[in-house]
Structure 1
């Protein structure tokens, strides 16, 4: 992806954009130097880099494995130092993700606010996984995994995330705050002012009659500017279960719900 031999005029046109590094693209080796520096820091067990060397889209993505026992203060200091190291190497907007064990992840997207939310969540009992704009897939930009499969408990957990974000302040409100079961079979996704209470109530009603293989409750933005519409996606194991669930869906109008048959 690295390009060479650009005309001088091209360099002059790009001088304002690449003020730090001139008109030369970064290399994978440049990114590895940053990763090697991070890997040598306290509490870090490994660090990898991915560099896009295209002159018009130079970027670096760092993934840093951190000791889960790291203190909040030390994690914050590591994040600041890593940001500065990547910026000093010439990347103005590095993307950096920190993994603390297999199920806890936070990135530098959103800055210190994101990290502050993560710190509060990772010290909360009962969460099997915690993600704050990181790489753990638990249903949302900010999300947790819990043991309970009760949709009301999942909704409560999602609302708790919104509460944490509100107390910290400065978090984008158009992001999904989600709670899921381990493995993601059941998920509730909420946004401030748009929690899927009606979808969860319908889910509970259907689950009392039909066993569900998967369920996802959320609210979706509308194209006409009206309030978000509650949504419910269900997966069942048999055609008979699908027919029963669809009859229950058809008996109400508050939620846009879909019932799918599990593959295989």
Structure 2
């Protein structure tokens, strides 16, 4: 029996990077998946690759109606909703915190914090109907360890890391577990934003130099941890912020 046999999941940010890898790992583990992403065409491509176990939805996580529709799609297509994997996120190029553009700062918080809250809020009624649920929010090691130049991003991820703990307490009576993954810099299309335009190779080397295991994370590293947290193997884990960081948080 596979770890997620019979489960139904919504994966936001599912068109690329960690979300795409998570959608694939979930299907490999036996789940049916709604691949949700603002890039609707990209979500369709991933769903087509995954076959009958997946369906795509165009979802901007800052739009409540679109988020609600993604959760409804899970129930209408697959009959229930058991798992929510929140991966939609926004990053910026390295900028001193006090030099950040106010509109950009607000946008990062809207996507990375409010967007995750909207997704959980929309998923919980269906999970209550199912009688249980597992939520995984992708935070960041930067939510625990600050790094210069990432004021908006680090603040948003610190908020998400703590939001997961609050939600874990509030939803425990419903049998809904909420955990947070805290990756280190991960080799995805978003990585270009973190590296900045000035000297990306030097920036990449600096990130790697701070990781004891000597490499960036791969999307599959995070996806494998997401499968574990969604499975019964993690049935007594809630409110955990799990570093997937090659030792960076030590």
Instruction: With the length of structure 1 as denominator, give the TM-score of the two structures.
Output: 0.30
User: Whose strand proportion is higher, 1 or 2?
Assistant: 1
Q: Report which of the two has the higher share of helix.
A: 2
Higher RCO structure (Cα 8 Å, ≥6 apart): 2
Q: TM-score, normalised by structure 2?
A: 0.31
Could you say which structure has the larger radius of gyration? Answer: 1
